[in-house]
Amino acid sequence: MSNKQDWQLIAGYLNGRDRAFEDLLSKYKNMIYPFIMTRVRNTQVANDVFQESCFRLLRDAHGLKPSGSLKGWLFTTANNLSIDHLRKKKREGISASSTDDSPAYRAPESSMPDVRRYLICHGGQSP
């Protein structure tokens, strides 16, 4: 799927086609999740970071520029959220490696969040 197709899916989502967002997540979850896991090395944290990345895509979709790379935006967002988590853990005195709980970096099916329903139920606000 090309960058153009990604933006067509975003446009479809913005026009009310929920399946378009699901298709986009299906495309990227097995790239983004392992990327996050290599940074945070904790399944629960990786799920949280992945889900927050999805929330931010939903939240910011209307303002994204089609001239940019959606894949790049997703990786940058996931990386920044991972770094935020690691900084928070460092401030709390917990090393990232002490929370390592899984060598498997494939995104579990359960990590595919139903973010659209969450946002509807919570007034469009991410946690």
Q: What DSSP assignment string belongs to 42-53?
A: -HHHHHHHHHHH
pLDDT at residue 96 in the model:
47
Task: List average pLDDT for each run of 10 residues in the chain, which is 127 residues long.
Answer: 88 93 93 96 95 94 89 96 92 62 52 51 48
Taking the C-alpha atoms of residue 104 and residue 36, their distance in angstroms, rounded to an integer, is: 12
Q: What is the pLDDT of residue 53?
A: 96
pLDDT at 67: 86
pLDDT at 92: 85
pLDDT value for 94? 60
What pLDDT is recorded for position 5? 93
- Sorted by where each starts, the structural domains of the chain and their CATH numbers stand as 3-121 (1.10.1740.10)
| DSSP state, residue 6 | H
pLDDT confidence of residue 127 = 44
How high is the pLDDT of residue 73?
Answer: 95
Give pLDDT, residue 1: 57
On whether the pTM is more than 0.85, the answer is no
